[in-house]
Amino acid sequence: MARRLVAGNWKMHGLGADLAEVAAVAAAPAAGCEVLLCLPATLLHRGAALAQGRIALGGQDCHRAGQGAHTGDISAAMLADAGATHVILGHSERRADHAETDAMVAAKAQAAQGAGLVAVVCLGETLGDRDAGRTLEVVAAQLAGSVPEGVDLARLVLAYEPVWAIGTGRTPTEAQIAEVHGALRAGLAARFGAAAADVPLLYGGSVKPGNAAAIFAVPDVDGALVGGASLKAAEFLAIVGALAGR
């Protein structure tokens, strides 16, 4: 059975003063699921000192290369050195803002796992894709292209994040989430066999304390990737509680 995980993605939010939120999340006892906060890289080292291993910390992107002349980029080993155990890869904002392709995401996932990190690979359709009835086709192509051959399934997490649900307050219906998560689970099994059943499938896009329990009740949903509601410990912990109490 897949591990259950609530992951926060702080995106480009957070200064030193906000580390109190990390401390508050780490101080709360979380039974029944893993808790992960993906912080801006600038906060990882200080965040790790506060978290003291009680929650996991992650980055939000890494370079495909281990090191080199790539001004401004961050390698997976650097994230690990700063205290990260996970890294988000292929988020739709990276795909849109930095023209990241499935092949680039797969290369980053390989680099991340090579440095010992868990790769949290994101995928999801645009509203145009959904309106055109192409959701399953698009997500299947992203799954095929963004998860590298030879991936270590024990260090892989998938996050389904419909682009149109991110930061909008709109969410798919439970049936729509179930359809995509079921297709992802089947797609993983077809490619990697029975061991793929253990890969956590997260839903992301406008997850809030008020809708988390209903989303977590959907088949094949093993947790959430939370943006805005992860910035404040009280909101984030309410979502953690909804999964832990499932």
DSSP sequence for 10-42: -TT---GGGHHHHHHHHHS---SSEEEEE--HH
**Nearer residue to ligand 13P within complex by CB, 129 or 161:** 161
Residues 10-39, one symbol each (x = binds ligand 13P by CB under 6 A, - = not), give: ------------------------------
Figure out which of the listed residues 58, 90, 227, 241 binds ligand 13P, where binding follows CB under 6 A. Answer: 227
Is 91 annotated in the active site? yes
The answer to the question of residue 162 lying near ligand 13P (CB under 6 A) is: no
Q: CB 86 → ligand 13P: shortest distance, Å?
A: 13
Asked about 21 being catalytic, the answer comes back as no
- Assess 86 for contact with ligand 13P (CB under 6 A): no
DSSP string, 167-226: TTS----HHHHHHHHHHHHHHHHHHH-GGGGGS-EEEESS--HHHHHHHHTSTT--EEEE
- Note whether 241 binds ligand 13P by CB under 6 A: no
91 interacts with ligand 13P by CB under 6 A: yes
Q: Does residue 235 belong to the site contacting ligand 13P (CB under 6 A)?
A: no
Cβ neighbours, 10 Å, residue 73: 14
86, 91, 100, 235: which is the annotated catalytic residue? 91
Backbone CA torsion sign across 159, 163, 167, 171: negative
Interface with ligand 13P includes 228 (CB under 6 A)? Answer: yes
CB under 6 A: which stretch of 71-79, 106-114, 160-168, 211-219 binds ligand 13P?
A: 160-168
Alpha-carbon span 8 to 200, nearest angstrom: 15
DSSP string, 108-138: HHHHHHHTTPEEEEEE---HHHHHTT-HHHH
**Is 243 a residue that touches ligand 13P (CB under 6 A)?**
no
Catalytic residue among 21, 100, 161, 235: 161
- Closest CB to ligand 13P among residues 77, 199: 199
Give me the amino acid identity at 39: L
Q: How far, in Å, CA of 202 to CA of 206, rounded?
A: 13
Query: Distance of alpha carbon 234 from its chain centroid, rounded?
Result: 20
Does 167 sit near ligand 13P (CB under 6 A)?
Answer: yes
Catalytic residues: 91, 161
Chain residues binding ligand 13P by CB under 6 A are 9, 91, 161, 166-167, 204-207, 225-229
